[in-house]
Structure formats: structure tokens, C-alpha cells
Chains A and B, each alone.
Chain A
Amino acid sequence: MSWGDDLHRDEIPPGTLYLLILKTLARSGEMHGYEIADSIQQISDDVLQVEEGSLYPALQRMLIKGWVIAKWGTTAGNRRARYYQLTAAGRKQLAVEMSQFERVIGAITRVIEAV
């Protein structure tokens, strides 16, 4: 369950992968894995680079928790893909993660600026 370990070579802060996925899905409705990875990268102006494979274990855990549901559909290029969609529980979780993130960032900021 230690997400930090999985992401130790990534530039996204530890523990924020859920937040990023949840937020991305909240913004754009339904997406498949590749789209989620792309979306995170583009919106962050290529700053946040996720090791793309790590999305998949994370998505599994979110499926278990019931934050997202998945169903199979077809892509624009007419290929089968699994689309993920936020559930009500997922929206609630997004709010939780957001406030947690802000609290941590706020704290870090205060520490840095206190110098």
C-alpha cells in the first residue's frame, strides 16, 4: 500500500496519484488509462511525469474502494478500451484528498517561508 515506494522515481509528490486520477476523471467524465496518463501530463505542461504503468495498480485499488467504475467501450480509433468513471463515493473521496493536499501544501509553504 505504500504508494511513495512505487513512485519514488517520479516527480509527483508521494501520495498524490489518487488525487491526480480522481481530479482528472472529475474534469473529463470517462477516460481510459492512456488518456488519463496523457491528460495528467499535458495539463501539468509536461512537468508531472507519471511512470505510466503505476496507474493501473492505482486504478485497481480505486475500483476496490468503489471510487471509480470501469466499463468496456471503443476508442475513436475503433479499439476496445476500458473506460473509468467517477462514482459518488469517488467525488466524496476527491474532496477529502483535496483538503488533505491543501493542508499539507499549506503547512509545507509555511515552513519554507518561515525562514
Chain B
Amino acid sequence: MNWLREVARRLRMLVHRRQFDADLEEEMRLHLELRQQEHLESGMTADPARAAARRRFGNVTAFREKSHMAWGWEWIENLVQDVRYGLRILRKNPGFTFVAVLTLALGIGANTAIFSVISGVLLSPLPYKNPQRLVARRKNDSPPNVTYIQKQARAFSEGGGINVQKMDYTGGAEPVRVRTGLVDAGFLETLGVQPMLGRIISPVEDRKGGPHLAVASYSFWQNFLGGDPHALGKAIPLGGNIYTVIGVMPASFAPPTEHADVFVSMWAGDPRGAAQRDLHVMHTYWRLRTGFTLAQAQAEMAAIDRRLAEQYPAEEKERKTQLVPLQEWLVGDVRPALLVLFGAVGLVLLIACANFASLLMAREVARHQELVIRAALGAARGRLIRKTLTESALLSVLGGAAGLLLAQWGTRILLALKPEKLARLSGIHMDTRVLLFVLVISGLTGVVFGMAPAWVAARGDVAEALNERGRSTTASTTGHRLRKILVTSELALALVLLVGAGLLIKGFSRLRSMNPGFNPANVMTMYLQLPATRYGEIPKRTQFRRELLARLNSLPGLQAAMVSDIPLGGNYVDHGFVIDGHPPVAVGGEPDVQTLSVMGDYFRVMQIPLRAGRDFTPLDREGQPLVAIVNEEMVREFFTHENPIGARIHWARETEPPQWMTVIGVVGDVKHSGLDQPVDPAAYTPFPQSNEIWRSWMTLAIRTRDVSSGLVEEVKKQVWSLDSQIPVSDVHTMEELMAVSLAQQRFNMLLLGLFAALALVLAAVGIYGMMAYRVGQRMHEIGIHIALGAQRRDVLRLVLGDGAKLACFGIAIGIAGAIALTRLMTSLLFEVKPTDPEILAVGAIMLAIVALAACYVPTRRAMRVDPMVALRHE
């Protein structure tokens, strides 16, 4: 405890420092006066008495300092002094301070923001129980298969599936469509998230003819149940049935891949689908049993696949189960983009650090003389180093603070820009670990490059420094060489980023100029689904569709048609098919074709060109010969050597006898699944000729002169005048759907573009700073040149040549670096080679222009040098 009391005593002294100094002063003065008094009494005169007293006392100042220092607070006092001094210096050089702080802020801010997003997506654990034990099956599965695997597989402790379907919710003011997760009892159990209220569906309830129970998501509970804590037991009308709410999930819960508003048993929501072996619609997730590895589970699944294939050869022949860890499954798509961004941000950090270092060095070299004189006057080397260190630490702190603001702001911006695929990002905030990491990195840069000059100076030779005015000392030449290297690497790194961004921009513009196969301008789309309860028979649906189209088309200034799934809407149905006269294919091995039902003048409305044959007419209706129109891709793949017009096809695995359809026309290809996706073979058939009972949905496509919201209201009115219980949802213009399809690419491009701009600015500042400093140093030399008759042109060459040499070096290295590094982003590029020479050239030229522009300002200053002034100044 003794040391504790000692610390307390020392602290008390620190607090009452002034009082302490005054006391000591008084004590010593008393001592001196008493001694003087003694001498006076022994007969000395006043002055000698005082001198004698002082002699006996010793060096008053030294003893005062020693007494003060005994308490051990010297370092704090020095620190305060250094900080004050440092702040004064920084205030005196606002330009330098601003650039240095900005450099750091950009480096720190951008890095933290990006890394926060990356760690949020790639590194942070999923919000489920023991998420590292969860695996996903790559392909969807059917409910009976899920049940089978649950019973058979020993490698899984739990498992389950979900299929999200939109269902009508008619409990509110307007009928709306809510995303309903059709699940089996295992699904919520497997993810292991406890409901916030109530409970989840139990295995006993999840059966054929089981009760209609619903588990609400937090947002559904808030929006439709009023956030009522007593909502349990409430009855809600959903998809034409009444469900009882038995639980509410917490706000943090969401199914792994897609959002769902409410969860119901598949047996309740879609009893027909729940029993269907070949309806592979469920995303399935499995939890590895303790002691089992992914490989073991994979092996067991292979065996189960074989058994299923033996039992159900028609449906389950090609299972090929592939299990993936859930985390990998979820981030797989965005990982390459995020990693490239991460690399880019690392380069920006490097550039920022190089810039900071070179700024510090320039300044310290300029202050070399001052430092050497201080050292010569007896300043301890430690103290000198501490002083410069304090200054760079101050800069780091200021830059860090500014960076912190920027990071917070940047993270928010990134989240606002995020594409759909990064939906999980909603829970991301700025990552403090990252912030600390970047702060430390930039702090270290400050320390290393802030300290080096003081170190050199403290050893420096005063005479030399004073004679040469600190110009050509060893310190400044090594410093200059180092700065050259730093600036060159900055330029090179900036070029790598520029080229990367250029490639993405080129890819993006290629993608944008892609012909989607239809004309998206002025087309409005809306989704409708006819409830099975009231539209169980196909003729009733056909009647509704026909009547709706007739009413819509009677409105002035628009043309309406419908299609089962709109291009870029994210959905389509595949059918296996058989061509009449082609060699027979084994059952289950038939090729797939995208199957779309249309009604009205769909191809005219969408402006999809007819390439051969004829379009559908109102006469291609129920009771008439079955017809189909195929796309060009279908012709390329399946009718290589024959005329498709007049050919006959039927869907595979249909009831006997097959319903043959005659191909009557060929239309142009449509980018149905995304602008960057290949076109699949597609077949269009008239809605009234479909005998598929499940085809109960449709998307309206309405071409009009102006896509205003008034139109939407008008369409809703028409729909509800036919049936007031049918929700109109997914209202988008075709152009919006195009934009969504481009979102990920735009995100990549914007970010990398931003970084490239950042890098360009930083590199420009770097080369400007160095050139300005060089010109300042060579003022004298330039003055002599001019005095000796050099023309402005010669000065220009002298100074600019310096900068140009650096720029050329930087660009050469940058090109090599770009060729080496941009290969890593191949997967992000749409129809652009990573070594696109055009982009390389544009990037290099741009960098060269910026670098020369940055050199121009100091060069102009050099050309204006008045030789008389320059020489006299020395």
C-alpha cells in the first residue's frame, strides 16, 4: 500500500503544481535571506553578504528544477509544451496542415467505410444459432424430399426448407400481397432463432390437414398487427384462408436468402405443392450434427440421392446434391466485387500514407536547419525527436478525427448505394476494429516519417547545415530520393486504380447499351394473381383476363397486354419439352425451355420484333389448335437445320396423349434474367390455351405516352371493378427493372470510380507538393540560370523535366501493375478484357495530364523568378 500512498502524494503535487512551486520559491528565499542576515551580523556589507549566501547555496535555478523534477511529472509538462508548440506550428502552416489532414482523413475514412461493409458481409457471423454448422443445398428441393432426408440423414441434427410466395392479405384497408414463407416445421427450428412472442410451428402441426397457423415477422407484426403485444391468437386472412397468429419473430430475424413477411406451414398454404415430389421449390438448410463434417454429410447425401433416384426415377434422376456452408452460399455472389473493392481501398491507403510521409519529409527537410541549430544549442536528441513526433501525432489525431467523420458518413453512403444482393447489409455499422487498425497504420506512418528527420538532424553537423543553408546536406538528398520513390509509387498505384475503374466503366457502358430485346421506354408493369379459391377453373381466369384487357385497352392513349413473367422481373418457369420427329430423349433428360404465357398484343406492346412466321391473334384461343412462338435462341439451339415454323412440340412428362403445339412464329431474343445474363431458349403460348392450373398469375405490360401514377390508379380501378379482392402489386416501369438489373454493376463502378478519383487527387497533391518544394529549394540555382541568359523555355524544361521524368516512371510501373492486378477482377467485367489497351492508354494519358498540371503551378513560379531577388535573398 505504500506505493499507492506515494502515487497519491505525487498526484496531489501534480494538481497543486503552482502552489508547490510558490512554496519552494518561498522556502529557498527564506534560506538565502537568513544566511545573508547571518553574514550581515558578522559584519559584512549587503552585497558581499548576498553573494556569499548564494555561493553557499549553490545554483538556485538548478536546485529548483531538480526539486520540481523529483516528483516525476516532467514528461507531462513537456508533452503539454510540445503539443502547444505543435499546434502553433500547424496553425502557422494552414496549407500544409489542411493537405496532410485531408490526406489522412480520406485514407482512414474510405478504408474504414469499405472495410466495415466487407467485414459485415464476409466476416461477421450470420444471425443464427451456431451459424458455422449450417449448410445449404445448392439446388432447391421438394417438400417430400425434405421430409425424406430429415428421416434418413444421420449427418444432420435438423433441417428444413422455405419457399416464399406472394399471397393476398385482405385484412387491411386495401388488399395487398405479402411475402409468405411456406415452410416445414424444421425450417425455423434449424436456424435456431427464438420467437420474440409466442412460439413456432411444431412438427405435429405441420402435416396434411393440419391447423392454419402463422408466425409473423417483426415488420408484419408492426405493419399489419399494429405491434400489438396481444396479437397472438388473432385471425388473419391470407391467400383466401384464415390463419391464427401463434408467434412473432424478432426484428433481427430474416430467412437466409429472401425476405418473408409471415411464415406458414406449406401443408396449410399450398397443400398440393407440399405433396408434390417433383416440385423443387424449397430452399433447404441443414444443421450438421455434432461430430459430422461437411464431407461426411455430402457423402451421405450422395447415397440418399441414389436411393431417391431408384425409388422415383422420373422425378429424382438428376439430384446431384451439393452442400455449401451457408455463409459461403450467401456471400458467394458479392465476394469478388467486395474483394476487389478491398484491394482498391488498400491501394488508396498506401497512397494516402505515402502522401502523408512525403509531406512530413518535405517539411522536416525544410526545417532541417532549425533542428540542427536547436541540437547545437543543447536540445537533447530525445527531446527534439519528441517534439517532431508530437507534431506528426497531432496531425494523425486531427486526420483520424476527420477520418472518423468521413468513415461514418461513407458507411452510410455505401449502405444507401447498396444493390439488392447486399440486402443483409442493413445491420452494418462502422467497424471500430477497422477504424483502430487504420488509425494505427497512419499513426505509424506519422511516427516513422516524422521521427526520421529529427534523428538525422540531431546527429547533423551544425557548421555544415549553416554553411549550406540546409540545402545539400546528406539528410535532404536521401530525403529527396525517398520522396521521389514515394511520389512515383503513388502515381503507379493511382494508375492501377484508374485502369480498374476505367475497365468497370467500360463494362458498365457496354452493359447499358446492351439491347434487352424489347423497348423499355414508357412501359409500366404490374403483377396480379388470381386466388385459387374463386378462380379454380381455367375458363374463369381466361374470362377475367380477357375482360380486364378489353377494359384497359378501351382507355385512351395506352396499349395493354399481359405475360406470365415479365423480363428482368426475376422469375420464369422452365419446362422440359419434346420436338416431334427428333430422336427420342430419355425420360427426365429432356432439354428445358423458358415458358411464358401471353395475352393481348404482347410482342407489339413490348416491341419485341417478329423474325419469322406470324404473331398470335385473338383467334388463337381455347378450343382452337394449340400454337407457340419461340425465340431465336430456341431456333439456334434446337432447329439448326430445319424451319421451325410448322414444327410441333409438347411439354415433357405430360399426361397421355401429348398436347402437340405448332410453332407459328419466331421472335427476337429477350434478356429475361438480366442484362449480363445469357439468353435462354424461350417459348411463348397463349394464356387461354394453357391447361396448367397453377398458372394463376400474370404481369400487365402497358405501353403509354407517359408513365404517371395516375395510370396506376386507373389500372387499379379497372382491376377492382372486376374483383375488389385482387391486389395489384410490384408496380414498376420497365426502366426501373433495367436499373435494378444494373445495380450491382453500378455499385462496383461507382465505388471503384470514387477510389480512382481519390487516388488521382492524392497523387496530384503528392507530385505538386514535391515539385513546389523542389522549386523552392532551387530558387537560387534557377536565378543564376536566368541571370546567365536562360530563356523561360529553358527554365520550363529544367523544372518540368523533373516532374515529367517522375510521371513517366510512375506511369510505366503503373501500367505493369495494372496488367498484373486487373486480372483479378475479370469476373466483374462485362465483355471487357482486363488488359483492354484503350483503357490502359486513357488511364495513362489522364494521369500524365493531371501530373503535369500539378507540376505546372510550381513551374510557373520558377519561370517568374527574378534573378536579382533570388540571388540577393541568399
B-binding residues in A (CB < 8 A): 6, 32-34, 37, 49, 51-54, 56-57, 59-61, 63-66, 72, 75, 79-82, 89
Tell me the residues in window 25-67 of chain B with beta carbons closer than 8 Å to chain A beta carbons.
26-28, 30-31, 34-35, 56-60, 62-64, 66-67
A52 contact from B10, B23, B56, B67, Cβ within 8 A? B56
- Please tell me which one of the listed residues A32, A49, A60, A72 contacts residue B70 in the complex, with CB atoms under 8 A apart: A60
Q: Which of B23, B58, B70, B71 sits near A82, CB closer than 8 Å?
A: B23
Query: Quick check: which of B1-9, B338-346, B805-813 contacts chain A, the rest being far away?
Result: B1-9
Known contacts A51-B57, A52-B35; A64 and B23 CB within 8 A of each other: no
A44 to chain B, nearest CB (A): 15
Can you list 23 residue pairs at the A/B interface with Cβ under 8 Å? A6-B66, A32-B30, A33-B27, A34-B30, A34-B34, A51-B58, A53-B57, A53-B60, A54-B58, A56-B24, A56-B66, A57-B66, A59-B67, A63-B9, A64-B10, A65-B6, A66-B5, A66-B9, A75-B30, A79-B30, A81-B30, A82-B26, A89-B2
B residues less than 8 Å from A65 (CB atoms): 6
Binding site for A on B (CB under 8 A): 2, 5-6, 9-10, 23-24, 26-28, 30-31, 34-35, 56-60, 62-64, 66-67, 70-71
Give the complex CA separation of A81 and B27 in angstroms: 6
User: Which residues of A have CB within 8 Å of B64?
Assistant: 56
Chain B residues with CB under 8 Å of A59's CB are: 67
A89–B340 alpha-carbon span in the complex (Å): 68
In the complex, the answer to whether B27 meets A64 with C-beta atoms within 8 Å is: no
Residues of A near B58 (CB, < 8 A) are 51-54
* Residues of A with C-beta under 8 A to B2: 66, 89
Q: Which listed residue, A53, A60, A66, touches B71 by the CB 8 Å rule?
A: A60
Residues of A within 8 A of B67 (CB): 56-57, 59-60
In the assembled complex, which residues on chain B have CB atoms less than 8 Å from the CB atom of A32? 27, 30
- Specify the chain B residue showing the minimal Cβ separation from A33: B31
| Closest CB pairs A-B (n = 7) | A53-B63, A53-B58, A57-B66, A60-B70, A51-B58, A53-B57, A34-B31
Chain A proximity of B58: nearest CB distance (Å) = 4
Asked if B30 contacts A37 (CB within 8 A), the reply is no
How far, in whole Å, are A100 and B824 apart by their CA atoms in the complex?
A: 75
Q: Which residue of A lies closest to B60 (CB)?
A: A53
Contact A64 B71 (CB under 8 A): yes
* Shortest beta-carbon distance from B741 to chain A in Å: 75
Contact B63 A57 (CB under 8 A): yes
- Whether B9 lies near A64 (C-beta < 8 A) is yes
| CB within 8 Å for A56 and B59 given contacts A64-B6, A64-B10 | no
Please indicate the chain B residues that have their CB under 8 angstroms from the CB of A49 in the complex. Answer: 56
Which of A32, A53, A82 gathers most chain B CB within 10 Å? A53
What chain B residues lie within 8 Å of A33 (beta carbons)? 27-28, 30-31
Chain B proximity of A70: nearest CB distance (Å): 9
With contacts A33-B27, A33-B31 known, is A56 near B6, CB below 8 A? no
Asked if B70 contacts A64 (CB within 8 A), the reply is yes
CA distance in complex: A56, B64 (Å): 8
Chain A residue contacts of B57, Cβ below 8 A = 51-53
B34 → chain A closest CB, angstroms: 5
Q: Which residue of B lies closest to A57 (CB)?
A: B66
Q: Across the interface, do A56 and B9 meet the contact criterion of CB distance under 8 Å?
A: no
* B30:A56 contact, CB within 8 angstroms: no
Q: A51-B56, A52-B31, A59-B67 are in contact. List 16 more A-B contacts (CB 8 A).
A: A33-B28, A34-B35, A37-B31, A49-B56, A56-B63, A56-B66, A57-B63, A57-B70, A63-B9, A64-B6, A64-B9, A64-B70, A66-B5, A66-B9, A79-B30, A82-B23
Whether A56 contacts B56 in the complex (CB less than 8 A), given A34-B35, A64-B6, A66-B5, comes out as no
| Contacting pair A82 B6 (CB below 8 A) | no
Distance, CA A89 to CA B6, complexed state (A): 12
**Chain A residues within 8 Å of B24, by CB:** 56
A51 to chain B, nearest CB (A): 4
Min CB distance B608 to A, Å, is 92
Which of A51, A52, A65 has the largest number of chain B CB atoms within 10 A? A52
Distance of A82 Cα from B23 Cα, bound (Å): 8
Flag if B5 contacts A53 (CB, 8 Å).
no
CA distance A31 to B67 in the complex (A): 18
Q: A37 — which chain B residues lie within 8 A by C-beta?
A: 31
Whether B27 and A82, one on each chain, are in contact in the complex, defined by CB atoms closer than 8 angstroms, is: yes
Taken together as a complex, chains A and B put the C-alpha atoms of A82 and B71 apart, in Å, by 18
CB distance from B49 to the nearest CB of A (A): 15
Q: How far is the CB of A79 from chain B (nearest CB, A)?
A: 6
Q: Which A residues touch B71, using CB under 8 A?
A: 60, 64
Whole-angstrom CA separation of A89 from B63 in the bound complex? 25
Given A34-B30, A66-B5, A81-B27, is A61 in contact with B35 using a C-beta cutoff of 8 Å? no
Shortest Cβ distance from residue A33 to the other chain B in the assembled complex, whole angstroms: 5
Chain A positions within 8 Å of B66 at CB level? 6, 56-57
**CA A60 – CA B72 in complex, angstroms?**
11
Question: Residues of A contacting B70 with CB < 8 Å?
Answer: 57, 60-61, 64
Kindly state the separation between the CA atoms of A19 and B35 in the bound complex, as whole angstroms: 23
Q: When chains A and B are docked, how far (Å) is the Cα of A19 from the Cα of B235?
A: 93
